[in-house]
Amino acid sequence: MSDGTPRDAAFDQWCRATYPRTLKRLLNRRRDLSVLDAQEIVQDAYHRVYQNWDRIRDPDGFVWDATKKLTIDHWRKRKSILESPVDASEAFGGKVAPIDGEPEHCVEHSNLLRLINQLPRDYHKVLVMDALGHTTEEQCEALGGVKDGTARVKLSRARKKLEELVKKDEEAQQ
């Protein structure tokens, strides 16, 4: 880093004296950081100090401020990388055969939603309540204004009607 100028010698001396302290301070404050991540952040902060060495009055304050900002940037980048719950090697929306043989009959998600939306409002409501797990009498009354027994009858009818719509849709597509 040093090319022999007094400016570089002053920076090198300051860097040797403060780098371990800054790294230790960051690791103590952010225990969720790995040592490698902390070292990278602190090195980037010291690089910023070196770039602005002639203009800085308080290098300790400047390096800690840069360290905090770089730590925030680090976590923003980590947060933005979402882990996918789906295996990326599978084709999205593809129909995967079960291990024991032929794939089960299934309807594409978008088609199923379209068919459910064609159902009468009461049938639509009980299918949604069933999918959400709201099947106790109190929950059915609170959400749908129907008794549990009535909801079960409507659910059975809604499933039969949906099955009919699925068969008609498949015939129309062939």
Residue spans of alpha helices (H) in 6-147: 6-29, 35-51, 59-80, 109-118, 121-132, 137-144
Domain 109-173 in this protein, CATH class: mainly alpha
Tokens 């295996």 appear where? 87
Angle of CA points 122, 149, 165, to nearest 5°: 40
Tell me the pLDDT tens digit for each residue of 97-141: 556 665 556 667 777 788 888 888 878 777 777 776 655 656 666
Pairwise CA distance, residues 32 & 36, whole Å:
12
Tell me the pLDDT tens digit for each residue of 41-97: 999 999 999 999 999 999 999 999 999 999 999 888 877 665 544 444 444 445 555
Q: Name the region of 90 (left: φ>0; alpha: ψ -120 to 50; beta: rest).
A: beta
Strand, coil or helix: 52: coil
**pTM reported for the whole predicted model:** 0.45
pLDDT at 134: 54
CB 30 within 8 A of CB 71: yes
Domain coordinates of the chain in residue numbers?
A: 6-80, 109-173
